[in-house]
Amino acid sequence: MKTFKLIAHQKHFSEEEIILSSKDFPHVKVRDVVEIYHPDVIGSRILLQVHSLKDDIQTKDTISIEQSIVSLFQLQIFFGVHVTVVDPTSAALDSVELTFKDQYLGRSDMWRLKNCLIGTCLYIGKKLEFCSKSVRCQVHEMWGQGERVACGVITEDTKIVFRSSTSQVYLFLQMSSEMWDFDIYGDLYFEKAVNGFLSELFAKWKRHGSNHEVTIVLFSRIFYEAESLEYFPEAVRACLQQDYRGKFYEDFYRVAVQSERMDDWACILPQLKLLFHGWQNSVLGYHQQNHPGVNIPKGVNSCAAQGNFLEVLNMSLNVFEKHYLDRSFDRTGQLSVVITPGVGVFEVDRELTNITKQRIIDNGVGSDLVCVGEQPLHAVPLLQFHNKRHCAASNDFSMPHWINLSFYSSSKRIGYSTFLPRIKMAPILNKETAQHKNKTAGLLSSKASSAIKVETSMPNSVFDYDAYDAKVFALPVSRTSKVQTLMRESRHRKTTTISSETNRFDRGRGNVRKSRVQDADVSFTSGHPGDGLSSSLISAPTMLSCSLTKTPSVTIPKRSAADDSFIVTCGATAPHARVRRPSGGEERLEDRRFSTLRVVVGSAGSPCALGGNTVTTGANPSTLNFNPSTRQIKTGRALINPFDPSRVTIKLTSNRRRWTHIFPKGPTGVLIQQHHYQAVPASEEKLTSSSFGVNLSSANLDSSSVGGNSNTKGRQRPMNRSLTLLWGATGEQEWTPALTTGVDWKSLTIPACLPITTDYFPDQRSLQNDFLVSEYSIIPDDVNSISVNDCGQQQKLSFRRPLETKEVFLELISQRLSQGFQLIVLPHTYSTHSQEYLLSIGRIFHKIVLKGSTITVTGYRPRHPYPTCNIHYRYRLQTPDHLTYEISWVDFNAEKLENYNWNHLDHYICTRGDRDFALTESLKYWRLRLCVLPTYDCPFTEKILRFLDTCVNRVKHHNPTKKPRPLAPTMFRDRGGSNRIPDRPRPRASLVETKSLHQSSGDHGLSMADNQFSTDECIYSVTRTRVASGSAAIVEAMKSSIGGMTFLEGKINDLPPYTFISYEAVAWLLDQVEGITTERDAIELMQKMIDERHVCHSSGNDKIKFCCGFYLFSLVSDAFSPGCVSENFDCEWAEVEFENSFPPPCASSVLTNPEPAKYQFLIADPKEFRSVASLYENRYDQMLRYKSCNLDMDISGKSERIEWGHLRYQSVFYPDASLEFIFQWVVCTGPLVAELLQNWLRKAQNCGVNLVPIPCDPFALPMSHKADPLRAPVFVPLNISALNWEGRTFFEEYPQDSWPQRLLLFQESIARHFGFLPCSPDPASPTASSRANVRPPLPPLQFIHTSGTAFVLILSSTSNDKNVVHPSPQRPQRTNSNWLPNSAVHSPTDPSLTLSYITRHVVGRQKWQQNQEVRVGFLWAWNSMLSKRWRNPSGPVCDENTGSKLLSDFRKFCANDEDRLKNYWLQALDRMSSVSS
């Protein structure tokens, strides 16, 4: 073979990975894959793809490879290499893992990226770019032919796994009683968790460069020794809950770190240790500290198994399922990690388990359970269901496959022994402990006690386990080297005859009667996958047979015949000839002569179906209990054996296969989890080593090191398409006692995103029997042709190109992927006339077919959906800024995915967001709220006008003399010139500088310095036009080239000639027209000109009134006349009305005088004060008015598809308030939205305003469905009693009916004093929606600080509630029990709930109860979306330290520290007195 000399080139020389000469390689074509290797060096092979062939290479017999690749694969420069063309199928990859960082990558983006990678050659560490370098990722790991490989080719069958280094991570640390126990090395389990696991985890984050957004929460469940609720004082009952055994408990949550990002997390470990040392006192002694002298039952910390494990998962799910709200563009992925000192066994509620399972699977959230206890000898994780019936002979168990389990083992080793115990020995009880436990047990009711006795007793069985134990522990008769296993002997034709009266089936009951919520993944299956879940009471027939498959080394003796009941597992069976057998694969429930059934221990969940001439165990097996008194067999729950789950197979479902494509295939072709290790004898171990960057065929790793089973003899089972193993996340790895589980560091360091593909689809029979079918067709050509024909000629100028049929088809698939669907990969069935895609989420399946110009969507939803269930949960929460635990609540429920309106969304896609198919809240579209704030003390109106002009509407102002200002640091990494997008070409007409406008200190007129025109030009002396000259003369003066008005030049984007902005028109009239002195005069004059048809709105609609702001109006001319209305005009332009933009130079009253405006709460004239209150209320209504327009999300044209979005904005702007914008989209690439946002941020800084993101629900009130349950606002009480002076009380000299309004205005003045501005609440939030139901005189307002770092909420009370200011002794006392809302009585948006929530957040609440007083104050909340990258260097500096100082100063002021509040009150009185005089 010919040898070529290898040289290396730099990337700036050529972007090609490999440069070949077409003369040296005449047989090589573009896109061929070549293998390069040194002939004498082992392990230096690499595969590269040829993208071009050079003809101008001078050196002969030479190839050039990029320098980084040469270094990565340790190739030797100037040495000879062999180059051979490789068949891509021989180098095909099974799976590839890609990692990315500091980006938001949607699932549709992942699918598009995968399609672009098909047919390309990858190698470890290769950097990939997509969408014009907007999407960046890197190859992390590759698997091919069951081995790790260094390079390979991606095919259509290759599974792509995306892993994120910047995810949203919740770390829950369970502070159960075991945390204070010692492990085998003498360390506390807390020390093992923090000093061991967390320390290693944080070190791996730092080493890998992971920068997750982390929240760390410590949680406990406290049980109280009390028989009834009467033992508790009234003040502590608000958060008490009672479990199924009648025991009272409370759950405590302590948020140690909230949504933080750090490069090194080691500094958090001392903080966690500090919380640990004070945990017992703060939690167990919480009520004693807040209620001294009150007798409260003693609290006991629960063990790990009885803790609130599922509750913490659901609290994180309440945040994760709202991922489309408050979208962050520098993180992707969601992960919940629970760190427990237990062993992976939990006692749980069945309904909550089913809700948790459905939510985790549907939302595609990673859930990791890390146990620092010793791994038990049985299979875990194991969920034991609460035995609420108190009559079952055994407990029900479930093995959740949706939890990724890890066991952390300390790196410590004992020098004299290598033995690691797997069982934790029970402690020896002394007399005091035994008496205490007996006393605790005696507190339970007789019913609960009997239930516990039943639970802990040995279940009824046909086997005598005591005799079996005697055989196991007997002295061995002879030495043997074989390991004895717990197996059951085969029992042939064990029959039980029942009286002839019942010797027939009760066919009338049928076998499809549904039970309650089922755990369908823990089951036995026989027959087709569509067999339903059912339970029935059967008058049993005939014979019951039970034969077992294997003979054990030690058999379990049969019990004596004295037992009056028996249990046969897996249901009653008919004669063997009628047993339905699984199709293909393993015959697991049969014998050649008899039906084969196994007896197992534990429970799989729900009953199964029996009846008819065949026996079908549905989704769950069942147990038959024979009652001799009624002569009937009653179906119970089938049992599983946690010590031997490897023999149990269950029905394959889509839920079971949802995450399987993230696992690689091992050497045996079975999916493996790489943190599972199989112990093998030393003689069978293969000690091999593989280096990074070896060739494709030699990248072998020992299978034991990647989780494979090295001892494969008889271990790996053939995979049946309809069956899967019960245990494990993959369903293909068999559990054995020798299987050791380590820590899945990869999942905890770079969490995997939900895979975009799966491989399960129900068979035809199941689709017909168990699903409801819906179908509709879309013909995009017909829909879009109607839209084009309906628009007029003026609308066609701005009409956007409709999507083609193929584009609509692909976008329908993308949208389903974005909403959590997965593509179903099945054996290829090619069709020349149509394209077909299958998708699934949960039990919902979609089939999308493109045939010709018609798209057909077929939906399959379950005939019997899961019943709706809502669980109300109460808990005590303490966030970092809270001084103590406070009550909060949340609801847990699973979303009904079958109710999603896909028909509406598909037509929205087809019409490109037409108003007939607008985005609705139920469509779960992506959104981001933005708030524009002033920087320091500046003329905010002019800055806002400039921002709307240049950024939102992209009107370009021509100013050749202006020097470009340097770009300020932006929120995202600088990507060079690729982020600089061209503005919409709307240049200004040449304009001559007029004489100066109003030069007052307020927002008066249009500043020339901010209007992009140089003041160095000559100023012409012009004659002012009089109002009496008439409208025609004013129009001519506007058109004048000297002293005329500014117009938008030409007919650009269907704008008429002589188009101007209304704000500039008002400024021009104030300056150039005599007789116009106020803003109102200018508006009235312009409206008169509209009525006289001299001026019209630029859309052609003459019904639109003139208003000051960014509104586009045009002079009527021959080219433009009113009446030709453009309906798409408001979809293309964002028009905002300005209120009070030009205040008069002199003010005659407090209403119009800006100096004492913040002291309006002291207005003495009742009539004038009512006017203030009316204006205040009207202003709130105006701030809730929103409009929408289209938003071009891909202004640089980087995407290969058409992308669009919508901009929702406040339609009215006040100069002393903020202005809000909301990005809304469903068809857009995440990094492109980030680039658009970066462009907005850069332009906002140039315009002199501060642009910050804000959350939808900044205060996280628990009555909001969007609230984060682990957030809570900080209540800052206002000490109004300090304002009582000289024998007079607060507001005593004013009428009582005005006290609530005056108090609200007083609080607003305090907020403005600290730099807060009013901002609009989210329209769907409780404070905003309460406006529609209850109309108080002064509604609640929320304020945002000018730095954007914090929010303040002022809640108003009703006018009849005068005791808010002065509490009355005769007022009925409010108790804690009234603070907790009852969902059956109160609406979630009831404002009284918000008021009660505020009054709860008071330190020392017992004083509030004694005084019967509703405290007055503020709710303080941090802006959780404001990171360091958003902070404007030219705006107010407010980092974390400054924000903490701001809160501390605000608290001191409201508490009247150093008489600051009193002095502020006296200063206000002096100012109002001077104004009145």
Give the pLDDT score at 1305: 86
Contacts of 1304 (CB under 8 A, 6+ apart): 1161, 1338, 1354, 1356
Helix-then-strand count for the chain, H and E: 32, 59
Q: In what order do the strands lie in the sheet with 1109-1110?
A: 1109-1110, 1136-1138, 1212-1213
What would the mean pLDDT of 1349-1354 be, rounded to a whole number? 91
- Pairwise pLDDT comparison (567 vs 1326), residue with the higher score: 1326
What would the mean pLDDT of 332-351 be, rounded to a whole number? 94
Residue 1366 has pLDDT above 80, yes or no: no
Q: In what order do the strands lie in the sheet with 397-398?
A: 345-348, 382-385, 397-398
Q: How many CB atoms lie within 10 A of CB 1460?
A: 15
Give the pLDDT score at 910: 92
Give the pLDDT score at 1026: 81
CA distances from 519 to 732, 1182, 1426 (A): 20, 51, 41
Q: Which residues make beta-bridge pairs with 33?
A: 49, 86
Residue 992 has pLDDT above 90, yes or no: no
What would the mean pLDDT of 1186-1205 be, rounded to a whole number? 90
Residue 536 has pLDDT above 80, yes or no: no
Angle at 813 between CA 809 and CA 815, to 5 degrees: 115
Give the chain's radius of gyration (CA, Å): 37
Query: Strand 854-862 relative to strand 567-569: parallel, antiparallel, unpaired?
Result: unpaired
How far is 1398 from 1355, CA to CA, in rounded Å?
Answer: 8
* CA atoms within 13 Å, Cβ hemisphere of 1470: 6
Question: How high does pLDDT run on average in the chain?
Answer: 74
Residue 1477 has pLDDT above 80, yes or no: no
Q: What are 834's two structure tokens?
A: 């149509």
How far is 656 from 401, CA to CA, in rounded Å?
Answer: 7
What would the mean pLDDT of 136-159 be, rounded to a whole number? 93
Q: How many CB atoms lie within 10 A of CB 1371?
A: 12
How far is 22 from 39, CA to CA, in rounded Å?
Answer: 23
Q: How many CB atoms lie within 10 A of CB 901?
A: 13
What would the mean pLDDT of 907-914 be, rounded to a whole number? 89
What would the mean pLDDT of 575-603 be, rounded to a whole number? 34
Give the pLDDT score at 445: 42
Residue 316 has pLDDT above 80, yes or no: yes
Q: Among 107-121, 394-408, 823-837, name the one with the lowest average pLDDT.
A: 823-837
CB 707 within 8 A of CB 675: yes
Give pLDDT tens digits for 567-583. Answer: 333 333 333 333 333 33
* CA atoms within 13 Å, Cβ hemisphere of 1320: 28
Tell me which range, 218-222, 436-440, 621-625, is most confidently predicted by mean pLDDT. 218-222
Query: With bands split at pLDDT 50, 70 and 90, how would you rate the model's confidence at 687?
Result: very low
Percentage of the chain surpassing pLDDT 90? 37
How far is 990 from 997, CA to CA, in rounded Å?
Answer: 19
Give pLDDT tens digits for 789-825. Answer: 454 444 444 457 889 999 999 999 999 999 999 999 9
Contacts of 506 (CB under 8 A, 6+ apart): 536, 537, 538, 539, 611
Q: In what order do the strands lie in the sheet with 844-851?
A: 757-758, 822-824, 834-841, 844-851, 854-862, 771-778
Give the pLDDT score at 1012: 40
Give the pLDDT score at 1398: 46
Give pLDDT tens digits for 743-758. Answer: 999 999 999 999 999 9
Residue 480 has pLDDT above 60, yes or no: no
Residue 274 has pLDDT above 50, yes or no: yes
Q: What 3-state class would DSSP assign to 527?
A: coil
Residue 972 has pLDDT above 70, yes or no: no
Q: Among 314-328, 420-434, 1393-1407, name the one with the lowest average pLDDT.
A: 1393-1407
Query: With bands split at pLDDT 50, 70 and 90, how would you rate the model's confidence at 1253?
Result: very high
Burial of 351 from C-beta contacts in 10 A (0-12 / 13-18 / 19+): middle
Percentage of the chain surpassing pLDDT 70? 67
Concatenate the DSSP letters of all residues of 958-985 into one string. Answer: P-TTPPPPPPPP-SS---GGGG-PPPP-
How far is 1418 from 1277, CA to CA, in rounded Å?
Answer: 6
Q: What are 1450's two structure tokens?
A: 């605000």
Give the pLDDT score at 962: 37
How far is 305 from 395, CA to CA, in rounded Å?
Answer: 14
The closest of 239, 166, 245, 174 to 209, measured between CA atoms, is: 166
Q: Among 373-387, 552-566, 1065-1079, 1432-1446, name the one with the lowest average pLDDT.
A: 552-566
Tell me which range, 152-156, 442-446, 1427-1431, is most confidently predicted by mean pLDDT. 152-156
CB 700 within 8 A of CB 666: no
What would the mean pLDDT of 1172-1182 be, rounded to a whole number? 78
CB 331 within 8 A of CB 361: no
CA distances from 1381 to 1075, 1262, 1275, 1287, 1392 (A): 60, 10, 19, 40, 10
How far is 408 from 402, CA to CA, in rounded Å?
Answer: 19
CA distances from 2 to 5, 31, 34, 81, 999 (A): 10, 22, 14, 9, 84
Q: In what order do the strands lie in the sheet with 537-538?
A: 537-538, 632-635, 623-627, 567-569
Residue 177 has pLDDT above 90, yes or no: yes
Residue 968 has pLDDT above 60, yes or no: no
How far is 365 from 363, CA to CA, in rounded Å?
Answer: 6
Q: Among 376-385, 952-961, 1461-1470, name the one with the lowest average pLDDT.
A: 952-961
What would the mean pLDDT of 931-939 be, rounded to a whole number? 80
Give pLDDT tens digits for 1266-1297. Answer: 789 999 999 999 988 888 877 677 787 888 88
What would the mean pLDDT of 956-966 be, rounded to a whole number? 40
Query: With bands split at pLDDT 50, 70 and 90, how would you rate the model's confidence at 193?
Result: very high
Residue 507 has pLDDT above 60, yes or no: no
- Pairwise pLDDT comparison (642 vs 549), residue with the higher score: 642
CA distances from 765 to 528, 768, 845 (A): 8, 5, 15
Give the pLDDT score at 794: 43
Look up the pTM and report it.
0.80
Torsion-angle region of residue 865: left (phi > 0), alpha (psi -120 to 50) or beta? beta
* CA atoms within 13 Å, Cβ hemisphere of 190: 18
H/E element, 1033: helix 1031-1039
Single-letter code of the amino acid located at 540 = A
Contacts of 772 (CB under 8 A, 6+ apart): 860, 861, 862, 863
Single-letter code of the amino acid located at 271 = Q
CB 655 within 8 A of CB 762: no
Q: Among 332-336, 536-540, 1114-1118, name the one with the lowest average pLDDT.
A: 536-540
How far is 1318 from 161, CA to CA, in rounded Å?
Answer: 45
Which residue carries 């906002």 as its tokens?
Answer: 1244
CB 1073 within 8 A of CB 1065: no
Contacts of 840 (CB under 8 A, 6+ apart): 654, 758, 760, 761, 821, 822, 824, 846
Angle at 866 between CA 860 and CA 869, to 5 degrees: 140
CB 603 within 8 A of CB 396: yes
Tell me which range, 476-490, 574-588, 920-934, 1436-1450, is most confidently predicted by mean pLDDT. 920-934
Give the pLDDT score at 711: 38
Q: What are 959's two structure tokens?
A: 């100013």
